[in-house]
Amino acid sequence: MLPPLILLAVCLIDYISALPPTLHKRASSYVALPFSTKRTSSVQKRDSDALSAFDSPLERASSLYYIEVGIGTPPQMIDLVLDTGSSVIWAYSAGVASSCSECGSAYYDPSESQTAIDREDLGVLNISYGSTNGVSGFYVSDTLTTQDTSAQDIVIGVATHAAKGDPQGGIMGIGLPQNEPSYLGYGIEYPGYIDQLQAQGLIGVRAYSVYLNAISATAGMVIFGGYDSSKWLGDLVGFPLIEPSPDRQFDLDVAAPTISLSLNGQTWEIPPSTVPYTVTLDTGTPISRLPQTQVAAIAAALGASLSTSDSEVYTYVLDCGLASSAGGLSFTFADVSGSVTITVPYSELIMDGSSAGQCMLGMWGEPDDTENGNFILGDTFLRSAYVLYNFDDMTVSLAQANWNSDCEDCIQPL
């Protein structure tokens, strides 16, 4: 039996309005940060040899989303992966070159910053991505500059050791503070980036919205303390975060959606998992990971063939021509007060492969009882959604992404 789930939500959320109640409040400002896409190896976040060792066309076709930041005074410019699935900001020091020559060439050196302060009180930086990947080092606090906004006293992990396959540049983790490595390892919690933005008067609400844009696009945007209503279609519907998640972590989890598939005028309802589960909405994971019973049903409907299988992960290959087919996967999130459906077209779900005519299905199957019922909707889903994460209300709001907006002045503060 699953451990009890604590549903954290505020009362009186108007789930069926076009805008959740928070969006009717007004702060004086927001911080809007564009990000760019880069082809890269995917970051592994589950402790699985099969995942961390997985070398497939899917990884080579994966993209991550990078924000250019300046760390320190004067700013040292580095590109960091935008990651809602983790809660620490970290960058490489030059010392990682001996252990990971592929990790990039832009480094952060606290000794060259006038504003860096050692944070031995937070313990040792130690983060794992699967069983073979991860970084270790130490913590400092320093100024973090993004665009024309500078925030002081931001905790930065300085990686002195890394492994092949770790992301280039580093990570900008913007998840819940209860998921910080210092809290998980030592019980020490510190204010995250969004907490400092609010404390320093740069935003009014601890919330941010994410618009990844289509897979063919080269840029998207994250807005701290604000939103862009031109970037979604229909209603933006709020759902309570489920904290802790079934795996006892404080991820950005919501209750699992129901899934349907349409192709060539036919529609299939995908059977539910054998175990109830939640999903983490994670920008730092290029591929979605769902219960194998559901992924197998999707693969069968699409005529996909099993490519890799063991006791931990199942991957599929299929005809690349399906990417131009009409239809897609529809994910319906529902609460007693409302629902929203996010449709992911096949062009976003089918990823380039290395063999002529063969592509990869942009989702992996994992055993239904993996992580005690916690799975991931990564970028293959999130590109089709507009997502508002609200730490003050402990909600996530979702709407269908609008890829055809050209409005240049539609951002509003929360």
Query: Where is average pLDDT lowest: 17-26, 227-236, 350-359?
Result: 17-26
Q: Which of 79, 83, 166, 228 is catalytic?
A: 83
- At 369 the pLDDT is 83
Beta-strand runs (E) in 147-231? 149-161, 170-173, 207-211, 219-224, 226-228
**36 has pLDDT over 80:** yes
Whether the CB-CB separation of 290 and 366 falls below 8 Å is answered with: yes
**100 has pLDDT over 70:** yes
Which tokens sit at 149? Answer: 């906004």
**φ, ψ dihedrals at 321, nearest 5°:** -60, -20
- Give whole-number Cα distances, 226 to 13, 73, 301, 389, in Å: 18, 27, 40, 10
Identify the structural domains of the chain with CATH numbers, from first to last. Answer: 7-20+232-403 (2.40.70.10), 35-202 (2.40.70.10)
pTM of the model: 0.88
Q: Which residues make beta-bridge pairs with 8?
A: 241
Comparing 159 with 308, which gets the higher pLDDT? 159
Per the annotation, the verdict on 369 as an active-site residue is no
Per the annotation, the verdict on 195 as an active-site residue is no
Tell me: the pLDDT tens digits for 49-72?
333 222 333 333 467 899 999 999
Whether the CB-CB separation of 195 and 225 falls below 8 Å is answered with: no
- At 53 the pLDDT is 25
Average pLDDT, the chain: 84
How far is the C-alpha of 371 from the C-alpha of 277, rounded, in Å? 9
Q: Which of 282, 368, 379, 393 is catalytic?
A: 282
How far is the C-alpha of 385 from the C-alpha of 203, rounded, in Å? 23
